[in-house]
Amino acid sequence: MTTIADKPAADRELSAEQARRYATSADRRLKLFNRTCIGVLIAFALLWLVPLAWAVDTSLKPNGETTNPTWKIMEPTLASYRTLLDQGDIINWYAASIITSTLSALGTVVTASLAAFALSRMRFRYRWLVFWFVLIGIMIPNQVLIVPQFRELAAVNLLNTYWAVILPQIPTAIAVFIFKQFFDGLPKDLDEAARIDGAGFWRIYSRVVMPLARPAVSAVAIFTFVWSWNALLWPLLVLTNPKLMTIPVGLATVQGTYGVRYADTMASAILGAIPLVLVFLLFQRRIVEGIAGTGLKG
Amino acid sequence: MASTETTGTAGIARPERAAPTTTQPTLDDTRPPAHRTAMTVERDAGLPGHGRPAMLFLAPFVVLYVLFIIGPAIYGLVMSFFDTSLVKSGLGDFAGLANYAEAISSRDFWSSLWHTIWFTILTTPPLVIVSFFFALLAERARRARWFFRLAFFLPYVLPSAVVALIWIWLYTPVLGLFTRWAVKLGFTEPNWLGDPNLAMFSLALTTLWWTLGFNFVLYLAGLQDIPRDLYEASSIDGAGPWQQIWRITVPMLRRTTMLVVVLQVIASLKVFDQMYIMTQGGPNFATRSALQYIYDVGFTDFRTGYAAAASTLFFLVVLAVSAVWLVLARRQEPEL
Amino acid sequence: MNGPPNPSPHPRPALSRRSLLRASLLGAGAVAFGAAGAGCSEVGAGLANSELDPGTVSYWNLFGGGDGVRMQQMEDGYRKENPSINLDAVTLSWGNPYYTKLSLATLGDQPPNVAVSHLTRMKTLVQAGLLQELKPEDLARNGMSADKFNKRAWDAGLVDGKAYAIPLDTHPFVLFYNTKLCEAAGLLDSGGNLKKIEGPDAFADALQKVKQAGAQFGATHGINSDPASPWRFFQTMYSQLGGEVLADDGTRIVLDDAKAKQVLDYMRSLTVEKGLIPGAVDYQGAVALFASGAAGFHLNGEWEITTMQTAKTPFSMTLVPNIFGGTYAVQADSHTLVLPVQPDQDRAKLDRSLAFVKSMLDQSLTWAEGGHVPAWQPFATSEAYKKLTPQSNYAAAADAAVYDPPGWYSGSGSNFENVMGSSIGAVEAGLISSDDAIAQIHSKLSAFAKTAPPV
């Protein structure tokens, strides 16, 4: 296939008319192609929305109507939601999830950034040792520790408390490295300027470095919060009192209660989904940027 | 950690101060304040004199880390050599390598491992390819991109329990939406979660819906970073859209793809939630994952020593996979 | 994420987003504190490990479906009689998850005051040290004693002669039959009850007749994702042949291969070869098929009586036929009420819990209406129960009940049942042969039998 570069110079200059026509038809072809792509994607996107939409649809029906499933709702009602909010423990679950996730995120950000600051900005003997010591933590997935962690917490009587969920979630080795990588990228002159001013490490940390670390902080905070919120396996083991359960554990545990009351089941699912959906809608940009940033840095 | 500095906000170098005064002890000043000049400050930064403040900064993390990560890791390893029971205190009878031998010879252990790997195989290629495909299409849209991001990423923020409940309802025999669609399309009513041959596929489909959004966003970001000129240059050279995708897009996204694949594989190896809620590991244990096997033997059967051994073996598998990726990644990008 | 952030290319109105953020954070805080205020004890308990609601009776059960409705009625009955005591009742999913949760809760020092336990699972809990002993004097103080319970159920629940569980009922495997279809098939006697069926051929014949009378299926029972039902059907017939599966607390397998094969082949003939029983329905599907009148018979625990009554199916119930002759036997288990070990038990708490148990026993009529055979003799021997049909039709099952063999991995919903039920179900579904199933059972059970018991 000859390229434009191969043609003799004279032929390369298309007439203005030809060029315009070529551009228009190429333009049109491109527009058509784009439109088709978008059309196909819209179809898939709508398909992707079906499960959630169906769940909402079902939750707004009375329980009896769900055995004849159509999209149309004969008697729309909020009865299922009322049942759950009155009789269920879902408010307690909300509280548990909010408290445990917030404290986990807070704890992770604070401990990881402090440790990362030490590793990045301070020189001390055996710094390399601490570095590698923390590195092995990344290799150990939490899930293989559930058995010994459970025994430990049982021994100190911390089972069935929020701390049983929060404390093991705070030390996150990878958060240390995210912060360290970020801190390493900050110019050292800032530190020196502050040092000359007589600032100590704490000052440098809290007034110089951390304010600049907002992207890292929000990324770590949001991801820890979401991950902690959605955690199932560990809270399932340590929170056995239905009044103390987090949302995922509560939903998974009393799943069998509703039987064929599908509207109630779907209402509980929607109630369980709402908080994070709100978080997502509010923080969309940050979350997406955070993920994209991860991708770019590899 | 109160700061003793009293001369104003840090970070602003005041021109009138040429050197730190000696009357204000700071955290990093562990020696008597005599003869402190700018030079000594510089030297301090190089000496291992930051030990104490470093310890203070590291302490919160390291204490929790040792208590809840390293400590349990060691304890778990020790426990695996004993017949520890969940309902008895102490380590129990010494079992030597018996727990490991049992795990290695246990058909249930290997099946659960196989189910986990099978799940990984079922979910990783679609999650990579489909998300890439969607990202390619979405890249064409400029204004509607927020809609696609919403539609595809929204499931990702849902807790697994919510996803499971919704999909159990979709898969319900006779009444479920997908069951009825299948019947309308002419298939015999598929027993999504009750047919041992179908159950894992159903779980994989649920997982695809749930986590595709994350990869989609990653790919979209990666696509936007590919310089336009590459495409323009190639189309001048006569390249068609397919060629552009193969020769430009895919190679440029190699890093993203590798990241997506490894994240997906590692996450799939640790799968638990979908199986626990949707099939309880059934039917006939056909969908029990490795992690659920550990849960069952440790917390339902009370055999924590054996569960610790199984956990260790499982950990080695995950480690092996991570190591393989590290080697591959290093070969691709030597600067990593 | 290296270096300072780049300014956002599309600066949105920062004020509105920030205020929205603030509002939502406040909202979240409000929910947390609102819940904390409304249920201060929960958050306090969560953070400070303080005791949750002292003076409450917390009660766990695993009753869903028809049973769940009945149990809720009884709970309301207790509440009406005891307005000053807060009853906190929770229903958890049936099976292993329930027992795992109960064990974890007891280990976590926050178990419920009273919990339901199958009789066959209770022994393992006792051996694990998770249940309180029920001393005769404590029981007597609260109006209960050994002689007031069905002897077979009571004795089966003793461990070393000590009592740890109060039997509420015996729930056997029973036969539901559609009266309309059976009448059309000529299977009813003059009183409108099912004529006695004895022997494998007679049973298959009955199923065939109902099918000819217009039913889609002769009979249904759960098979997919339901290890319990195939096991119960198998155990009933296998025990009629006199077979046993485990011995010595589960450390020895004494499965009689020939008898097992006989039963499995018969079950397979009904599903695969003669198509009288569908081989690929799950529990709910099997119930639904009978309730809607598509099947002439239904094999299940008696607890689904409420479902059938609600669906207005024309039905009645009776004992599962003595298919293989011999001494009559039928698979059953009993629901019992147990008291998990409490970290701070005192007499007041004990009495509160036992009073709740007694209240449940006093409401045996409601429970029996749900299909169960009452273990509480003052009611079981009363006229009120005898008049309750079809429930009293199969009262004899309580005395012929065959419980699952004892073992740390055995009991309702246990690994044992899972192994047995999935293999048997696979035979019924036509997925494996009887011989393969027996081999599978042997290999899987011997793995358990060889293991040192963790209790």
Interface A:B, Cβ pairs < 8 A: 343
Residue C89 pairs with which residues in a beta bridge?
C59
Q: Do A99 and C46 touch (CB under 8 A)?
A: yes
Identify which has the larger pLDDT, A72 or A15.
A72
Say what the ipTM of the complex is: 0.82
The pairing of strands C56-61 and C114-118 is parallel
Return the C-alpha torsion angle A115, A121, A124, A129, nearest 10: 50
Among all residues of chain A, which has the CA nearest to that of C92?
A254
Q: Tokens in use for C28?
A: 């979240």
The alpha carbon dihedral of C227, C232, C233, C238 has a sign of positive
pTM: 0.82
Hey, CA dihedral for C352, C353, C355, C359, is it positive or negative? positive
Strands C252-253 and C295-301: unpaired
**B-chain residues near A248 (CB < 8 A):** 159-162, 273
- Given its phi and psi angles, is residue C326 left (phi above 0), alpha (psi -120 to 50 degrees) or beta? left
Q: In angstroms, how far is CA B32 from the centroid of its own chain? A: 49
Cβ pair C42:A96 closer than 8 A: yes
CB-based burial label for C18 (10 Å; 0-12, 13-18, 19+): exposed
- Please say whether the beta carbons of C181 and C213 come within 8 A: yes
Q: Which of C45, C68, C104 sits opposite A240 (nearest CB)?
A: C104
The answer to whether A107 touches B47, Cβ cutoff 8 Å, is no
In the predicted model, is pLDDT for residue A19 greater than 80? Answer: no
DSSP-derived secondary structure for B247-301: IIIHHHTHHHHHHHHHHHHHHHHT--HHIIIIITT-STTTT--HHHHHHIIIIIS
User: For chain B, how are helix, strand and coil distributed in percent, rounded to 5?
Assistant: 65, 0, 30
Inter-chain residue contact C103 with B299, CB threshold 8 Å = yes
pLDDT tens sequence across A121-179: 888 888 888 888 998 888 888 899 999 999 999 888 888 889 999 999 999 998 998 89
Nearest to A161 among C24, C46, C93 (CB): C46
CA angle B169/B174/B176 to nearest 5° reads 25
Confirm if C357 and C116 have CB atoms less than 8 A apart: no
The pair of structure tokens assigned to C124 is 């393992």
Is residue B84 within 8 Å of residue B305, measured between CB atoms? Answer: yes
Residue C207 sits at the vertex; the CA angle it makes with C205 and C208, to the nearest 5 degrees, is 65
- pLDDT of chain B along its 336 residues, tens only? 333 333 333 333 333 333 444 444 444 444 554 544 544 444 444 445 677 888 888 999 999 999 999 999 999 999 999 988 888 888 888 888 999 999 998 888 999 999 999 999 999 999 999 999 999 888 888 788 888 888 999 999 899 999 999 999 999 877 888 988 898 898 888 888 877 888 999 999 999 999 999 999 889 888 888 888 888 888 788 777 777 788 888 888 888 888 888 888 988 999 999 999 898 887 767 899 999 999 999 998 899 999 999 999 999 998 898 888 778 777 766 554
What does the alpha-carbon distance between residue C14 and residue A141 come to, in Å, rounded to a whole number?
39
Q: Report the interhelical angle of A90-121 vs A162-169 (nearest 10°).
A: 30
Interchain contact C49–B (C-beta under 8 A): no
Query: In chain C, which stretches have pLDDT less than 50?
Result: 1-15
- The dihedral sign for the CA sequence A75, A78, A83, A86: negative
Q: Distances in Å between the alpha carbon of B143 and those of B138, B147, B198, B222, C330? A: 10, 9, 39, 18, 68
Answer whether residue A97 shows pLDDT above 50: yes
Measured CA to CA in angstroms, residue A196 lies from A210, A213, B20, B34, B43 at distances of 19, 22, 6, 17, 14
Contact of B206 with B167, CB cutoff 8 Å: yes
The neighbouring-strand residues paired with C255 are none
pLDDT at C26: 62
The token pair that represents B214 in the structure block: 């994350």
* Segment C183-206, tens digit of pLDDT: 998 888 888 888 888 899 999 999
Q: How many residues are present in chain C?
A: 455
The reported pLDDT for the residue numbered C352 is 92
Residues C281 and B319: their CA atoms lie apart, in Å, by 41
Predicted confidence band of residue A297 (pLDDT cuts 50, 70, 90)? very low
Q: Choose among C104, C422, C454: nearest Cβ to B285.
A: C422
Strand pairing of C401-402 and C330-333? parallel
CA B265 to chain centre: 9
Q: How far apart are CA B306 and CA B291, in angstroms?
A: 13
Which structure tokens are listed for B309?
């051994």
Nearest CA in chain B to A112: B61
Q: Find the closest chain C residue to B305 by CA distance.
A: C454
Residues C123 and C159: their CA atoms lie apart, in Å, by: 7
Interface touch B85/C447, C-beta < 8 Å: no
Q: Which sign, positive or negative, has the C-alpha torsion C47, C51, C52, C53?
A: negative
Which of C259, C204, C205, C257 has the alpha carbon at shortest distance from C237? C259
pLDDT value at A67 more than 80: no
By residue count, chain A amounts to 298
The nearest CA of chain A is from the CA of C294 a distance in Å of: 17
**What's the topology of domain C172-332+414-449?**
D-Maltodextrin-Binding Protein; domain 2 (3.40.190)
Per CB-CB distance under 8 Å, the chain B contacts of A7 are: none
- Quick one: angle between helices A162-169 and A146-155, nearest 10? 130
Please list every residue in chain A whose beta carbon sits closer than 8 Å to the beta carbon of residue B316. Answer: none
- What tokens were used for A92? 């307690």
Assess whether pLDDT exceeds 50 at residue A202. Answer: yes
Q: Which of A155, A152, A160, A239 has the alpha carbon at shortest distance from B72?
A: A152
Nearest CA in chain A to B144: A38
Identify residue B171 by its one-letter amino acid code.
Y
Q: Give the pLDDT score at A120.
A: 87
Confidence of residue A209 (pLDDT cuts 50, 70, 90): confident
Cα-Cα-Cα-Cα torsion B227, B231, B236, B237, nearest 10 degrees, comes to: 110
Q: How is domain C17-168+334-394 classified at the architecture level of CATH?
A: 3-Layer(aba) Sandwich (3.40)
Task: Write the DSSP assignment of C32-100 as a string of letters.
Answer: HHHHHHHTHHHHHHHHH-PPSSTTEEEEEE---HHHHHHHHHHHHHHHHH-TTSEEEEEE--SSHHHHH
**DSSP string covering B93-135:** SB-TTHHHHHHHH-HHHHHHHHHHHHHHHHHHHHHHHHHHHHH
Q: Which of B162, B280, B318 would you mutate first to test chain A, the one with the most A CBs within 10 A? A: B162
How many Å lie between the alpha carbon of C25 and the closest alpha carbon of chain A? 10
Give the three-class secondary structure for C281: coil
Question: Could you tell me the residue ranges of all domains in chain C?
Answer: 17-168+334-394, 172-332+414-449
C219: which residues sit within 8 A by CB, 6+ positions away? C207, C210, C270, C276, C277, C295, C296, C297, C298, C299
CA–CA distance, C179 with B187 (Å, rounded to integer): 34
Note the Cα C120 to chain centre separation in Å.
Answer: 11
Interface test with chain B among A52, A147, A170, A181, by most B beta carbons within 10 Å = A147
Contact yes or no for A239/A160 (Cβ under 8 A):
yes
**Residue B91, pLDDT score:** 83
End-to-end CA distance of chain C: 52
Neighbours of chain B (3+ CB pairs under 8 A): A, C
The DSSP code sequence of chain A is: ---GGGS-HHHHS--HHHHHHHHHHHHHHHHHHHHHHHHHHHHHHHHHHHHHHHHHHHHTS-GGGGGS--SS-SS---HHHHHHHHHSSHHHHHHHHHHHHHHHHHHHHHHHHHHHHHHHH---TTHHHHHHHHHHHHHS-GGGGHHHHHHHHHHTT-TTSHHHHHHHHS--HHHHHHHHHHHHTS-HHHHHHHHHTT--HHHIIIIIIHHHTHHHHHHHHHHHHHHHHH--HHHHHH--STTT--HHHHHHHGGGGGTT-HHHHHHHHHHHHHHHHHHHHHHHHHHHHHHHHHHHH-
Given a contact cutoff of 8 angstroms between Cβ atoms, the answer to whether C87 and C112 are in contact is: no
CA distances from A75 to A59, A62, A64, C293 (A): 11, 7, 10, 28
Across the interface, whether the CB atoms of C4 and A186 are under 8 A apart is answered yes
> CA-to-CA distance for A108 and A177, rounded, in angstroms?
12
Are C17-168+334-394 and C172-332+414-449 in the same CATH fold?
Answer: yes
CB C448 within 8 A of CB C415: yes
Binding partners of C (≥3 Cβ pairs within 8 A): A, B
Nearest to C409 among B279, B301, B306 (CB): B301
User: What is the rounded distance in angstroms from the CA atom of residue C356 to the CA atom of residue C337?
Assistant: 10
Q: Which of A7, C94, A274 has its CA nearest to residue B238?
A: A7
